[in-house]
Chains A and B, each alone.
Chain A
Amino acid sequence: MEQEIRACLDQKRYQDAFDRLLPEFQNKIFRLAFAMLADPALAEDIAQEVFVRIWKALPGFRGQSSLSTWIYAITRNACLTALKAGSTKKESSLAEPSVARAAEKRGIEPATHAGIDVLRHLRELPEKYQQVLRLYYLEEKSYEEVSRMLEWPMGTVKTNLHRARKELAEAVVRSKI
């Protein structure tokens, strides 16, 4: 698909390129934004903004990096800007409970199970660990995809996931004592 999109760009058929790009990347961009922002509604807003930026920037895409690398970089930058803008109201707008509410609507069981509230402990981890954990499970446990989307080396992804899961499990054990 990426080759098809690049062929459209080479022929300056930007609308065709965009029409192919939107279904190909909409879920990836949404999930990356969700992982970084921890709020599905905000993630959709930012993902829309990312597509508008992509549409504006398509004529300037020089193909020096892969299309997905370029798109994920735009997404990460948009999310970082949103995080900075919302940092003061983080507790109300970016808090994890919105995930739980959305999850309930989708028929997913509440976060607590056998008295363990993993999401509460997740919120207490460093931001970097939270993001990589969310993305890992959003991307169905694909190290490769997480590595591509965050532009981290594979070893860094594995190390951070290992530490994050361990810290989370330790927090769960401590909460039961």
Chain B
Amino acid sequence: MGCAEFQELVVAYAELADDARVRVDSHLTQCAGCREFLEALHAVDTQLAAQFGGWEASAAFAPAVRRRVSREAAMRRLSFIPELLDFVGWGAIVALIALLAWWGGPLIAVPTVKDAVTLNAALAAGGAFVLVAFVIGLRSLADLKH
């Protein structure tokens, strides 16, 4: 086994089986290069543990988060316009359907019953689509502003 392979074992030393550790220890007593590698690895572990161990968010962190969240909550409470537009939009759709049901008769007089149904259904669907698109557009604008 060459030094490159021993160095792989040195990196994984903590997880080695006992017999592998004995072989590594034995090699280290005879090889200055691998001992230097072990020292470097020890320096890496020691210094990185010292630099990065024990870090926590500062004491000001949680209060700052709460302030930001409170601001967001206040803005959200003020933003009633999207809900109002939703209400108006869905109200308009329901009113349109109710109006059509109540009216019952054809919107445009045509010679046959089949044509009248087709034409009026298309008109109702088109009207509802335009209305919904308009309300959703307004709603999106309101969302963008908030």
Contact = CB atoms under 8 A, between A and B. Distances in A.
A47 B47 contact: no
Interface string B19-61: 0000000000000000011001101111111111111111001
Contacts of A23: 62
Q: Is the interface of A mostly helix, strand, loop or mixed?
A: helix
B47 A113 contact: yes
Contact of B37 (A48, A141, A173): A173
B12 interface: yes
Interface string A55-96: 110000000000000000000000000000000000000000
B36 A166 contact: no
Given A109-B50, A137-B51, A162 B11 contact: yes
Q: Is the interface of B mostly helix, strand, loop or mixed?
A: helix
Interface residues of B, number: 32
A169 B11 CA distance: 9
Given A22-B62, A103-B51, 14 more contacts: A26-B57, A26-B65, A30-B55, A47-B57, A51-B65, A52-B65, A103-B50, A116-B40, A137-B53, A166-B11, A166-B41, A169-B37, A173-B36, A176-B36
Interface of A: 18, 22-23, 26-27, 29-31, 34, 40, 44, 47-48, 51-52, 55-56, 99-100, 103, 106, 108-109, 111, 113-114, 116, 118-119, 122, 133-134, 137-138, 140-141, 162, 165-166, 168-170, 172-173, 176
